[in-house]
Amino acid sequence: MIRTKKDLEKIRASHVSLMKMREGKKRFRIVVSLGEENMPAKETLNEFIKVLDELKIYDCAVFFGPKSSISEAPVVEIHGKNTSTTYINVTKDIVPLIVKSHIVGEKVLDTHVYKEEK
């Protein structure tokens, strides 16, 4: 509950990183798709925001996407300038590995990439 200007300033300070992720041109769009269970997807999304904020990476936008047709949820799609990669079974423990490899190193983390069956 907001009772004073100080309370409002605390709330604003806690949301600065979220606002930075929404402004300006983005290098990557990260879309976390909902699965049968919403909680794992929410944890994954929150972990992306947390890790990106800790590393002060603000040129990535993080969104919730529609329910995925892929059964190995949570499913995360990372859209770059000319590429799109789909990761499966992305728990919050996997998020730092994806950020370090894909976002920072710009190399796909092969262990969790979705491979379409032919």
Every domain of the chain and the residues it spans: 27-112
Output the CATH code of domain 27-112: 3.40.30.10
Q: Give 23's pLDDT tier (boundaries 50, 70, 90).
A: low
pLDDT at 19 over 80: no
| Token pair 């092969």: residue | 110
- 55-84 pLDDT, tens digit per residue, is 989 889 898 888 888 888 899 999 998 999
Query: What torsion do the CA atoms of 82, 51, 35, 73 make, to the nearest 10 degrees?
Result: 80
Percent of the chain scored above 70 by pLDDT? 87
| Token pair 């290098």: residue | 27
Q: Cα separation of 38 and 46, whole Å?
A: 12
pLDDT at 97 over 70: yes
- 44-58 pLDDT, tens digit per residue, is 999 999 999 899 898
